[in-house]
Amino acid sequence: MLAAVLGIRRRLQAIGGKERIAPYPARSFPVPPETTVASQCALTLAQTAERLSIAYITAWRMVQRGDFPAVRVGRSWRIEPDALRSWLDAKRSARAEAAQ
């Protein structure tokens, strides 16, 4: 064991100690299409605020008041894209009814 450690140390010194030797070869995993990932992933509060063109703190306050469809995951909030669309549609139809 000691010989193996010394051998690694010598190799690192020979290359200047700047490069790291990976213990395992790098693996490549297939990447699913972007549309599939985007449709399945819940949005963070920051992403939701960006999509709605509102400030993060405004979105956070809406979640705190219960005005916004959000789910608590650990210490952060997540919003399902479908729930966001439904919420927006409900807001639009409420405004259309109020205008008539």
Which tens digits make up the pLDDT trace of 4-60?
655 666 666 665 655 555 565 556 666 555 544 444 688 999 999 999 999 999 999
Other CB atoms within 10 Å distance of the CB of residue 81: 16
- pTM of the prediction? 0.54
Q: Return the half-sphere exposure (C-beta side, CA atoms, 13 A cut-off) of residue 83.
A: 13
Q: For position 24, what pLDDT does the model report?
A: 59
Written as one letter, the residue type at 36 is T
Q: For position 38, what pLDDT does the model report?
A: 46
| DSSP assigned state of 24 | S
Domain 35-100: give its CATH code: 1.10.10
Extended strands (E) in 1-100? 43-44, 71-73, 76-79
pLDDT value at 95 more than 60: yes
Q: For position 39, what pLDDT does the model report?
A: 46
Q: For position 41, what pLDDT does the model report?
A: 84
Q: Report, as an integer, the average pLDDT of 62-68.
A: 90
pLDDT value at 1 more than 90: no
By the 8 A CB rule, do 1 and 7 touch?
A: no
User: Phi/psi zone of residue 17: left (φ > 0), alpha (ψ -120 to 50 degrees), beta?
Assistant: left
Written as one letter, the residue type at 49 is A
